[in-house]
Chain A
């Protein structure tokens, strides 16, 4: 089995060891990193027919491999019992080809998986989680005279807390991996937008049927711009990627850190104490359509069986074993990462940090209902545009206009906006 997450290797190896004890079949776990190296390795291996028996890949990215006839069709193998073990919104939403993704692909001249049919499945998720989690340094909140145990309920309240920290301690309010343009987009803009506008309008905006200049969207852009106007970011945030941002937060350089379920374990590994961390989901802005962001698990990594495997039956049996609650409990405890499988919220079995995260998840949320399709060109515009708030080169009005233009052009290329 191949993976690109080095810190998953001990967890996967333990599962492999347990599987060998049960069946006598030995599974070797190999990692290649960073991401680009892993992608290149898979590309070359798929050309030479040297893919491993079991492959890990980004959830949602499996269609490209499946379309190239590299994966075994698991549609009939993943029976009802197996499906029940996955968290809602993981296998059913991303590992099975949905109608809207199929329709969109058929209209897109660049889509390279037009041969995949609705309902087909080629993979199962084993790692889940979600972004949109904010972590606060309780000691810093206390130092600023704020209640360290009270999470903000609105974006405005959160902004005021950051301003207070800045004024009282001269420390930055917020840090996150801004160097990666996707971070501000997916971790901050999207959760604020979906709560501010509601799922329907959120979908309409992205799908080309509404505008980024909609007041509910402008409110979000202005709030993000306020972070820069009030200089609440760490000074070098534009040069800070995801892990360095978490390190900076652990070192006390900012009061808040924007991350995901995967961030907490990393912060603790950096020496932070769990009791010094307050976590909450990104709070909606005042007047938002949704007064709370229900966070649901999303699949992040899927496991799949390759067609060139000479042990397809064993490989399928292994991924079935791997995604059992028992195996994933082992994985969660060893890696501190969040499985896409239902595991018991028992601190003895998965650790106290994981229990907190498990309890924070809802079964359904706005993102699981959303049918928004985010195209390449507007994605690039928003990624750079939100960074340009920090460099003071853009304004909410300017960015909204640029986004509308880019979104319209991208949908026009596909023959018009996506129909609801």
Chain B
């Protein structure tokens, strides 16, 4: 008798399907016991249901965390860990071949040595030649970020306004506009390189239209006074489509009543643009500014493919220097990581300044 409740109690802890054999077994014992067990079995389904409800409820209550858990795990392993790894590495001298790991921490001399802040000091100020090249590259990055961002906005906004007003062929214009976005970067860079050659399309066109004096005899990417601007033109050309699409989406959220009221008040087209369109598109502009600066400061693949930093270092950017330190024959992964963090801090500060500058206006 004493065993029976124990059996049932054990069974209660199991799901319904597993509980059945035990209740079946219970039917073979005494009537008293039957009654007892039956009464208990009447309780167990309700306990099971209660428990199921509890699990279901727990799942429902925590469904959010469960949905994001795979992403969190991926982020922790491939995002946060690599970021921390890179940060720690920036304080070490490592050639990439010896052992260097964080968990467990391994850094075996002489292929891995603690460097303290030396990796940062080396390119920031300590080593005159290397720091000169670093700051020159940083200067190019900043020029590119300002010019490309401004150029993108100046071209994308009027284009978006025109597309928004276009009555016929809007789909065709939009498709044409999207072409630079959907064309593979490497193909674009090679085509532009051909355009910029000494006997390339650009020089040919200039000659044909009587502007031969503007030609770049050593090629547009080969002359120090033209190379950087030539690269920026390609960058702007590549960035305008996305910015235009964003502006176009923003324009379609502005109510027409505002323009109608402005027209009734006698506002000119310029006043409508300055007083209605531009302020209402400011949130979109903030996004464009931040993404543009971010991509220009961190990107290097176009420079790598089109000029490799030349001529004579006139298009060298920090991203390319990081690539050369990390994957070139120098194999100074600590310096490459330190440079990446210096660049990150710059990008972060610029993004903060942007948000700070635009926030009162966007909120207003």
Chain A interface residues (CB < 8 Å from chain B): 35-36, 39-40, 42-43, 46-47, 58, 61, 64-65, 67-70, 110-115, 179-180, 235-239, 241, 376-378, 380-381, 384, 387-388, 390-391, 393, 405-406, 409-410, 413
Contacts and interface: CB of A to CB of B under 8 A. Distances in A.
A241 B307 CA distance: 10
B243 to A, nearest CB: 29
B3 interface: no
B312 A68 contact: no
A239 B327 CA distance: 22
A131 to B, nearest CB: 16
B108 to A, nearest CB: 8
Contact of B308 (A65, A241, A381, A413): A241
Contact of B310 (A110, A235, A239): A239
Contact of A236 (B97, B198, B329): B198
A239 B307 contact: yes
A235 B312 contact: no
* 8 tightest Cβ-Cβ pairs between the two chains A and B: A238-B311, A68-B98, A68-B97, A377-B129, A387-B312, A43-B96, A236-B219, A36-B327
Given A377-B127, A391-B314, A409-B128, 15 more contacts: A36-B323, A43-B96, A67-B98, A67-B111, A179-B308, A179-B310, A236-B218, A238-B218, A239-B221, A376-B130, A387-B310, A387-B313, A388-B312, A409-B127, A410-B129
B311 A381 contact: no
Interface string B327-354: 1111110000000000000000000000
A70 B93 CA distance: 18
B189 interface: no
Given A43-B97, A409-B128, A115 B110 contact: yes
A381 B95 contact: no
B224 interface: yes
B110 A391 contact: no
Contact of B111 (A112, A380, A391, A413): A112
| Size class of the B contact interface (CB-based, 8 Å) | 35 or more
A113 to B, nearest CB: 7
Interface in B80-131: 93-99, 109-113, 127-130
Contacts of B219: 235-236, 239
Interface in B211-249: 217-219, 221-224
Nearest to A381: B129
Given A42-B97, A391-B311, A112 B110 contact: yes
Contacts of A409: 127-129
B135 interface: no
A388 B310 CA distance: 10
A70 B96 CA distance: 12
Contacts of B310: 179, 238-239, 387
A306 to B, nearest CB: 11
A406 B330 CA distance: 18
Most buried by A among B93, B111, B223: B111
Contact of A40 (B198, B327, B329): B327
Nearest to A378: B129
Given A58-B329, A235-B222, A377-B127, A384 B95 contact: no
B133 interface: yes
B38 to A, nearest CB: 63
A406 B129 contact: yes
27 contacts: A36-B328, A42-B97, A58-B329, A67-B98, A67-B111, A68-B95, A68-B97, A68-B99, A112-B95, A113-B111, A114-B109, A114-B110, A115-B110, A235-B218, A235-B219, A237-B222, A239-B307, A241-B308, A377-B127, A377-B130, A384-B133, A387-B312, A391-B312, A391-B314, A405-B128, A409-B127, A413-B127
B197 interface: yes
Contacts of A237: 218, 222
